A and B are shown apart, each in its own frame.
Chain A
Amino acid sequence: MDSLIAASARALAAGDALGALKRVALREDPPALALRGIAMAQLGEHPRARELLRRAARGFGAHEELARARCVVAEAEVAMAMRDLGGSPRALAAAAATLDAHADRANALQARLIAARQLLLLGRLEAARAALAPLDVHDLPPALAAVAELSAMELALRSLHIGPARAALARAQEAADRARVPALSAEVADARAALDRPAARRLFAGGEQALRLDEVAALRASNALVVDACRRGVGAGDAWRPLARRPVLFALARALAEAWPGDVDREALIAYAFNTRHPDETLRARLRVEIGRLRALVAMQAGIEATARGFALRPRDAREVVLLAPPIDGEQASLVALLSDGAAWSTSALALALDASQRTVQRALAELEAEGRVRAIGRARAQRWLAPPLAGFTTILLLPGALPIE
């Protein structure tokens, strides 16, 4: 590299972004563009940084593929900080392969980590899991290791695997301490706080009890028959039936669980599940059909007994019945609880799950979005809704370890 590039890189490494910029401010050659881009990113000028890095990558071209790959990684990271997730995953994968081919292991891992975090932010949890699984965080720079562990924690928490989540959090904490990046430590602390916030309420006759995520997970893992109005499902232990797409079945399950060990009147079930106060013979027939379906779904854990006036839940093997509800009442809380699975939901799927109109759901989402409690990706029909990440992990730009010109 030439002398001003070296001087500029030296300033950047010492945290002097303005000093770095000053030395290459008027230069348009690819290494200078890359340095200007990284300095701009550190100064928080993300759109400008992205443009400069893109031009640097183009300038390096196929001939200087290693330097170009590093620029592609830096650009992807800046794009993620801007929450612009429309970038090409293929370009990032190609960059990772190039970095591997040049034995630049740390930056190759950085590229793959960015790809995995993008998938997490997009709510594509299975793909994110597949992307994170093969990453070897040993011997990684500590800042990268911390981000990798935070991502693993996020993924584990979204699937209510509290033990692995806590273990990943502890490793993230340890790596963040080694990295000595205050912002990273703050993110770990935030993630830890999320674990201790009330995540649900347990409702029982005459009262309720606030539960943390690990208490929810413990209940779900226990022998009890859990009717979960947060994630809309019914089950015990491993036998979990998601019912988000079957609102009538879920409403029946919830009504039966609420009355347990008592029974529920047919009329009341019809009014609750079918939203009508005028039961007739057709609705009574439909109730029998729906109860039959629910009975088949929970057959292993419980029976549903017909009583003189209605139906009652009869769990097997002296199981308990536990009813979980969102931490607070209301449409918004139900939405947030549903989104806490980390997956990307369409408005129509949310409306279906909550048995509410799309208009109502849209209104509630708009209010939540304004408060920063949900976020949207995509536009129009492709729009999807997600909970914000538990770990912030996009506030810090780690950027490729070695500068593009090294």
Chain B
Amino acid sequence: MNSTTAASKQDKPETAPRTAEIVREYGPFAGATSVAGVTHDGQRVWAATGAQLVAFDPASGETTRTLDCTCDAGTAFDGTYLYQIAEARIDKIDPASGKVMSSIPAPGHGRDSGLTWAEGSLWVGQHRDRKILQIDPVSGAVLRTIESNRFVTGVTWVDGELWHATWENDESELRRVDPDSGAVLERLEMPRGANVSGLESDGADLFYCGGGGSGKVRAVRRPRAARA
């Protein structure tokens, strides 16, 4: 517990945390006990629940589609296909059929957590290694490494901002980091017990957060000051 305080002290020069505003909660979903990765395809939110990808309508909260596929950690969407971390690989999945089109090895060999798509690359969170890797979605080659000082769970890009979720010792935050230096620019503190396993922006005002063992997905308001 002392090192938690020590970690917060370290962070202080960077930026003070603000409280995350949870707008809405979804789930738990039928047959699922946990939620890992989340992504947004423009209309629906997809949540990885272990053995099924569940798509729901964020307005009504209704589940609109489920795909049977292994989904252990981060989820991403490139405009056409879903990408899903399963065991130690990243599957490219056709959201219409649920078919796995191709797979590449995950860069962390299974230590991978969050996943997002941006600028033609996949960005992969390395959980306990506290890193975010930019990789080539075809070959899986690592293009860039960004260091964080906390465990990385979800990762997302929105309006040129790189955000990642962290979950350490039952405490979670959403953090905006400098993609070059890894410096923490902004911190949103989640309430106790609302831990974040996956993160995705809807491209506008909201973040969707996978709620781990709670089996929920939470919508968190993106702070106004962050939007340039």
Residues of A within 8 A of B (CB): 1-7, 10, 13, 23, 29, 31, 61-67, 102-103, 402, 406
Contacts and interface: CB of A to CB of B under 8 A. Distances in A.
A273 to B, nearest CB: 63
Contacts of B168: 63-64
Contacts of B179: none
Nearest to A65: B1
Contacts of A65: 1, 169
B193 A4 contact: no
A204 to B, nearest CB: 63
> Is chain B's interface secondary structure helix, strand, loop, or mixed overall?
loop
User: Which one of B1, B85, B169, B193 has the highest number of Cβ atoms from chain A below 10 Å of its Cβ?
Assistant: B169
B134 interface: no
Interface of B: 1-4, 7, 33-34, 36, 50-51, 70, 72-74, 85-88, 106, 108-113, 126-128, 153, 168-170, 192-193, 197, 212-213
Given A3-B87, A23-B110, A62-B1, A102 B170 contact: yes
A402 B74 CA distance: 21
A400 to B, nearest CB: 12
Contacts of B51: 10
A64 B113 contact: no
A61 to B, nearest CB: 7
Contact of B87 (A7, A64, A67, A402): A7
B3 A4 contact: no
Which 8 A-B pairs give the minimum distances between C-beta atoms? A4-B110, A3-B73, A6-B72, A2-B127, A63-B3, A3-B72, A406-B213, A3-B85
A402 B33 CA distance: 11
Nearest to A4: B110
Contact of A3 (B4, B86, B128): B86
B91 to A, nearest CB: 11
A10 B71 CA distance: 11
A23 B109 CA distance: 11
Nearest to B74: A3
A2 B50 contact: no
A6 B73 CA distance: 7
Contacts of B70: 7
Nearest to B4: A63
Given A23-B87, A61-B3, A406-B213, A3 B169 contact: no
User: Which one of A1, A31, A67 has the highest number of Cβ atoms from chain B below 10 Å of its Cβ?
Assistant: A1
A15 to B, nearest CB: 14
A10 B51 CA distance: 9
Contacts of A1: 36, 73, 113, 127, 153, 197, 212
